Amino acid sequence: MNKYSFCPLDIAAYIKWSQLSSWEEARLLRKLWPLAPQWLDPQACGKRFSTFEKRVFQQLYHLYTRGYVDEYSDPAGILDPADKRRPLMPRQHANMETWLKRITLLLVLEPQLPYIRVDIPQLVAQLKIRRLTKTLLRHTLTAARRLGLRVARADGQPADAPAILAEGTVRIGLTPASTARLAELYGDSAWLGDWSAIVQPQADHTDKKVLDECEE
């Protein structure tokens, strides 16, 4: 089960990346609200949907005014000084943390996508992280576990830092505990899908084409 609760800024960053219409933004927030309080920070998001919605749109406005586009942007744009919680990863790896949060929300919102395939060296380069190290990978794997993510090798076996350094490519999906909890919250068995039940997407790790190609 995830040990991290999303705040309005996390949701706003996902909306910014997704480039949703106003109608789609409202629909996304209604879809996320049943996840409170297990997946949404109750203090940051509030106890009512109207409060949650207002705070997300406030953060979305601030992202636009700061010129924040996506996880490749200046990490300072996504860091909230008012958030006193301990970050998932060291500040120098804030872009990786933001990327992991976005992928988690993508997997939560799209149950037909049981995992994505990621070229880790390419991702690190695109996120403008200086170099790929075991320390970075250990922090990444720890953050992934706190988010309720499972990181596996290309053959589906559990991945550790040495294996990722050697092979480069991993699969990232929600853990069985996370999918079971989502199915319980939504009353939908779609979140209980097996990784082997879908053709592996032939897309890279960050593009919205991941969803399009899975649906074709």
Q: What is the pLDDT of residues 165-215, one digit of tens each?
A: 999 999 999 999 988 888 888 776 555 554 433 323 333 343 333 333 333
Q: What is the pLDDT of residues 50-77, one digit of tens each?
A: 999 999 999 988 888 877 666 566 655 6
Does residue 40 carry a pLDDT above 90? yes
Can you spell out the DSSP letters for 2-38?
----B-HHHHHHHHHHHT--HHHHHHHHHHHGGGTTT
pLDDT of the residue at 135: 92
Residues 163, 152: Cα–Cα separation, whole Å: 10
Does residue 18 carry a pLDDT above 60? yes
pLDDT of the residue at 119: 93
Per-residue confidence band for 146, with pLDDT thresholds at 50, 70 and 90 = very high
Percent of the chain with pLDDT strictly greater than 90:
38
Q: What is the pLDDT of residues 121-143, one digit of tens each?
A: 999 998 888 889 999 999 999 99
Can you spell out the DSSP letters for 133-148?
-HHHHHHHHHHHHHTT
What's the pTM value of the predicted model, to 2 decimals? 0.81
